[in-house]
């Protein structure tokens, strides 16, 4: 099978022969399309088609291999030649026998209105268009022309910014980007082909791609890496590009194993993962290694802000530090409007728009107090009930099965009972503290009841004291003994069909 580039294969930007042969033929490309991009010929592909050498090579190669493609060109209106470039792209696509779709937007104005850089605005507008095309066409993927030189530049940019294994692995052959679509992937079939090979491929077919003059404008970081940094590195090591490319390829394989283990860890730690909200099991997460903690926190942040690119080291370390030693308020503003909250054993990552989980016990809104007869019940939020019943002597215990029930000597309590919310100055004599009194506010803090829940937490009281804080602690008073003749049983019941009964 003829290589993508015979002339120039394995040569660098300066034309020197590389000491590692990365020359790739259509046969090798077909293997990449099937095994790494996971593509078939049964569904169309949308090709992001600028008309430049990269996308032209990709389009022509896919057509030669029999893939149904749509060439989707986006006019950003950033250059005077933009309309001419769009016309040239249309002619190239149509000459190759591909369907051509055109989109456009004033990216400069959009970037100003949304406070984005030109590069960010252009990418946002372009990918929005490409995925609209993919959904319209029922395409299996959006294919883009990123190649080996792009991969090397990306790895270096990530390294300079500070990155872990994911960043140093560079771009993947196939990846789903949730900010654009939850199911349609981006594929990059040319990641093993060098720019020189791509240009030779187009030249061999007599095609003159569109030239983008901004590719040499060193105002852009990528271009400074391309024209300044990489030539310098090649003076130190003539095979620097290949070495960096190989490192990324090795890390991609290693990351696949990490991701498998991380997926199992995510399932173990994740309690809720919805729109604007991630709830993690704090003790489970705290038991993971530092590296896994970082990756799970990063994953949670990406779920909350899919388009967020700069999740920096400092933000992840603040989150890890909070995990180990929470702030006194048990909250922290982290990054991009995301807040950390620790409520009981739950680590909550949320935004200002999030609807927080309905955890804990609460009296309905607007109700400060309700009488509790025996037998009887008081309705709580979320379908739960606080219920009461008389039991025969000997059936109660001073040490119930959980904090969701309590047993009392009925003759030692001053009835009637009242279920109310907290009042200023409330105190409790917690069971097991030798009759010592404690502020209710301190008890709630010590028991890690979230501040947002404390104001409506139900308290079972007699006329002069709190006898039970459901789900937390009972009072020292009215303990059941062998001499008790009437046993009062209090419990929380979530099943609405269950009615309290007398003993």
Q: How confident is the model at residue 446 (pLDDT cuts 50, 70, 90)?
A: confident
The pLDDT of residue 28 is above 50: yes
Q: What is the mean pLDDT of residues 393-405?
A: 68
Please tell me which residue, 283 or 435, carries the higher pLDDT value: 283
Task: Report the mean per-residue pLDDT for the chain.
Answer: 88
Q: What is the mean pLDDT of residues 98-123?
A: 94
Which range (21-30, 99-108, 414-423) has the least confidence?
21-30
Please tell me which residue, 483 or 148, carries the higher pLDDT value: 148
Annotated binding site: 50-55
What homologous superfamily does CATH list for 369-493? Phenylalanyl-trna Synthetase, Chain B, domain 3 (3.50.40.10)
Return the CATH number of the domain spanning residue range 275-350: 3.30.465.60
CA-based nearest residue to 66, from 28, 30, 35: 30
Q: How confident is the model at residue 10 (pLDDT cuts 50, 70, 90)?
A: very low
Separation between Cα atoms, residue 4 and residue 193, nearest integer Å: 8
CA-based nearest residue to 9, from 193, 188, 202: 193
What homologous superfamily does CATH list for 26-252? HUPs (3.40.50.620)
Using one digit for the tens of pLDDT, what is the confidence trace for 331-367? 999 998 999 998 878 899 998 777 776 666 888 888 8
The pLDDT of residue 328 is above 50: yes
Q: Which two tokens stand for residue 111?
A: 């970037």
Q: Between vectors from CA 241 to CA 239 and to CA 247, what angle results, nearest 5°?
A: 100
Within 10 angstroms of residue 37's Cβ, the number of other Cβ atoms is 22
pLDDT of residue 426: 94
Separation between Cα atoms, residue 437 and residue 284, nearest integer Å: 34
The pLDDT of residue 412 is above 80: yes
pLDDT of residue 399: 58
Separation between Cα atoms, residue 475 and residue 343, nearest integer Å: 24
Q: How confident is the model at residue 11 (pLDDT cuts 50, 70, 90)?
A: very low
Separation between Cα atoms, residue 187 and residue 144, nearest integer Å: 6
**Distances in Å between the alpha carbon of 33 and those of 176, 465, 468?**
16, 73, 65
**Percent residues over pLDDT 90 in the chain:** 66
Please tell me which residue, 494 or 131, carries the higher pLDDT value: 131
Q: Which two tokens stand for residue 151?
A: 């991969």
Contact between 243 and 237 (Cβ < 8 Å): yes
pLDDT of residue 119: 86
Within 10 angstroms of residue 416's Cβ, the number of other Cβ atoms is 12
Range list of H helices, 178-312 = 195-204, 221-224, 230-236, 240-269, 282-286, 290-304
Q: How confident is the model at residue 434 (pLDDT cuts 50, 70, 90)?
A: confident
Separation between Cα atoms, residue 197 and residue 190, nearest integer Å: 10
Tell me the residue ranges of DSSP E strands in 105-197.
141-143, 174-176, 185-187
The pLDDT of residue 325 is above 70: yes
Q: What is the mean pLDDT of residues 326-330?
A: 86
pLDDT of residue 23: 44
pLDDT of residue 5: 34
Which range (172-186, 260-274, 311-325, 352-366) has the least confidence?
352-366
Annotated binding site for ATP: 50-55
Which range (48-62, 295-309, 333-347, 354-368) has the least confidence?
354-368
Q: What is the mean pLDDT of residues 104-123?
A: 92
CA-based nearest residue to 144, from 48, 26, 43: 48
Extents of the domains making up the chain: 26-252, 275-350, 369-493
The pLDDT of residue 402 is above 50: yes
Using one digit for the tens of pLDDT, what is the confidence trace for 211-248? 887 777 777 889 999 999 999 999 999 999 999 999 99
pLDDT of residue 405: 92
pLDDT of residue 497: 33
Q: How confident is the model at residue 292 (pLDDT cuts 50, 70, 90)?
A: very high
pLDDT of residue 352: 78
């Amino acid at each position: 099978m003829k290589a993508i580039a015979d002339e120039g294969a394995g040569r660098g930007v300066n034309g020197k022969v590389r000491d590692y042969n990365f020359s790739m033929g259509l046969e090798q490309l077909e293997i990449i399309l099937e095994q790494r991009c996971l593509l078939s010929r049964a569904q169309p592909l949308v090709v992001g088609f600028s008309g430049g050498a990269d996308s032209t090579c990709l389009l022509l190669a896919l057509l030669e291999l029999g893939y149904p493609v749509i060439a989707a060109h986006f006019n950003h209106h950033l250059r005077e030649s933009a309309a001419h470039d769009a016309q040239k792209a249309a002619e190239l696509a149509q000459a190759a026998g591909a369907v051509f779709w055109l989109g456009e937007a004033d990216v400069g104005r959009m970037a100003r209105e949304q406070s984005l850089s030109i590069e960010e605005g252009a990418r946002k507008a372009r990918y929005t268009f490409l995925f609209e095309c993919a959904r319209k066409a029922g395409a299996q993927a959006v294919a883009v022309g990123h190649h080996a030189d792009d991969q090397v530049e990306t790895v270096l940019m990530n390294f300079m910014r500070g990155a872990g294994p994911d960043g140093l692995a560079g771009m993947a052959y196939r990846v789903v980007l949730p900010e654009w679509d939850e199911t349609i992937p981006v594929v990059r079939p040319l990641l093993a082909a060098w720019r020189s090979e791509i240009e030779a491929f187009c030249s061999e077919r007599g095609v003159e791609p569109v030239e983008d003059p901004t590719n040499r404008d060193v105002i852009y970081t990528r271009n400074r890496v391309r024209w300044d940094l990489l030539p310098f590195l090649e003076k130190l090591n003539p095979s620097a590009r290949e070495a960096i490319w190989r490192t990324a390829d090795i890390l991609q394989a290693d990351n696949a194993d990490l991701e498998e283990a991380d997926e199992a860890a995510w399932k173990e730690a994740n309690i809720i993962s919805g729109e604007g909200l991630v709830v993690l099991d704090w003790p489970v997460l705290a038991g993971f290694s530092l590296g896994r903690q970082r990756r799970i926190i990063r994953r949670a942040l990406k779920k909350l802000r899919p388009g967020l690119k700069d999740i920096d080291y400092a933000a992840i370390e603040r989150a890890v530090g909070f995990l180990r030693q929470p702030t006194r308020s048990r909250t922290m503003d982290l990054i991009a409007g995301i807040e950390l909250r620790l409520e009981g054993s739950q680590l909550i990552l949320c935004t200002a728009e999030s609807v927080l989980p309905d955890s804990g016990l609460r009296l309905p809104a607007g109700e400060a107090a309700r009488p509790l007869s025996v037998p009887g019940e008081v309705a709580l939020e979320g379908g739960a009930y606080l219920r009461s019943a008389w039991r025969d002597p000997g059936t109660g215990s001073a040490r119930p099965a959980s904090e969701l029930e309590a047993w009392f000597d009925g003759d030692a309590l001053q009835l009637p009972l009242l279920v109310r919310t907290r009042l200023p100055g409330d105190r409790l004599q917690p069971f097991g503290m030798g009759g010592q009194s404690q502020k209710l506010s301190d008890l709630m803090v010590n028991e890690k009841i979230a501040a947002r829940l404390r104001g409506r937490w139900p308290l079972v009281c007699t006329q002069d004291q709190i006898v039970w804080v459901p789900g937390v602690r009972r009072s020292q008073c009215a303990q059941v003994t062998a001499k008790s003749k009437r046993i009062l049983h209090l419990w929380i019941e979530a099943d609405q069909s269950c009615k309290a009964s007398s003993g």
